[in-house]
Amino acid sequence: MKQSTQWMLLVSLVLLPRGAVADKAPPPRAHAHDVASGGHMGHGGHGDQPMVHRFEDPAKWTPVFDSPDRDGWQKPQEIIKRLQIAPGMTVADIGAGTGYLMPHLAAATGDKGKVIAVDIEPKMVLHLTERAKKAKLPQVTAQLAEPSDPKLLPNGVDKILFLDTWHHVPSRAAYAQKLFAALRPGGAVYIIDFTQESSHGPPKKHRLTPDAVMFDLNAAGFQSAVLPEELPDQYIVVGKKRAQ
């Protein structure tokens, strides 16, 4: 199995309607996730089970990922507010998928800022590029990453966002170290994922607790905390890199 198919940064399970049964999702295909995730079970976490999904067709998944109904529970404006993005910043959206947050992030960074939409599927990257072009968002660029490496330049970004994505990342402790290196001093990573009680999201065995997320971030050098939020089904964990 090629590494580029090991995990998908957005998954249909996270967008199941309320009350939908997770095991009725499309059958898993070649998109295995690395089980290694830092031994979270001893830290109150879940998510050590691999998920197998692949999303190569943007036309198929755009109606799902960009459904107007998603805004009701995803609350993109609330997310943008919590990120505290200043005009001119560089923000990386890892697991950008079809570009659900692209217009919101572009508006927050402004014309002098930069949004890097990152995904591991080549067709999704092409879709993101075309979407930014059609929307006339020159501050948005799309780039291809690897499952174990976001491919961000050292000290190159101010904010990093993972929306409905972190529980798919293989070897999260090692991945967090790459994020730490990519952030400028004073930068931060924001991980938004599903609570155990959420009516959306993956099966519970794949979900991570906030403590599990913070464990890996802290091990990489971040100072992490759970943010107050108004998301009905999710938590927000922030990991900050000290300013030098």
Tokens encoding 91: 């923000």
Report the C-alpha gap between 208 and 115 in whole angstroms. 27
Stretch (H or E) spanning 76: helix 76-83
Report the C-alpha gap between 8 and 142 in whole angstroms. 16
What pLDDT is stored for residue 28 in this prediction? 26
Residue numbers of the domain that contains 102: 3-240
* CATH number (domain holding residue 20): 3.40.50.150
- Per the prediction, the chain carries an average pLDDT of 79
What pLDDT is stored for residue 90 in this prediction? 98
Question: Percent of the chain beyond pLDDT 90?
Answer: 58
pLDDT tens sequence across 118-158? 999 999 999 999 999 999 999 999 999 998 999 999 999 99
Looking at the structure of the chain, the number of domains it has is 1
pLDDT at 189 over 90: yes
pLDDT at 233 over 80: yes
Average pLDDT over every residue of 13-33: 31
What pLDDT is stored for residue 220 in this prediction? 97
pLDDT tens sequence across 90-105? 999 999 989 999 999 9
pLDDT at 52 over 60: no
Q: Which residue did the predictor score with more confidence, 210 or 39?
A: 210
What pLDDT is stored for residue 43 in this prediction? 37
What pLDDT is stored for residue 165 in this prediction? 87
pLDDT band at 50 (very low <50, low <70, confident <90, very high): very low
What pLDDT is stored for residue 205 in this prediction? 84
Whether pTM exceeds 0.95 = no
Average pLDDT over every residue of 221-228: 96
Lowest mean pLDDT among 40-44, 158-162, 174-178: 40-44
Question: Percent of the chain beyond pLDDT 70?
Answer: 74
Instruction: Single out the residue of 69, 124, 72, 73 nearest to residue 102, CA to CA.
Output: 124
pLDDT tens sequence across 9-20? 333 333 433 333
Residues 6 or more apart whose CB falls under 8 angstroms from that of 51 comprise 7, 11, 13, 28, 31, 32, 33, 167, 168, 202, 206
pLDDT at 168 over 60: yes
CA distances from 136 to 85, 89, 99, 104 (A): 20, 18, 14, 13
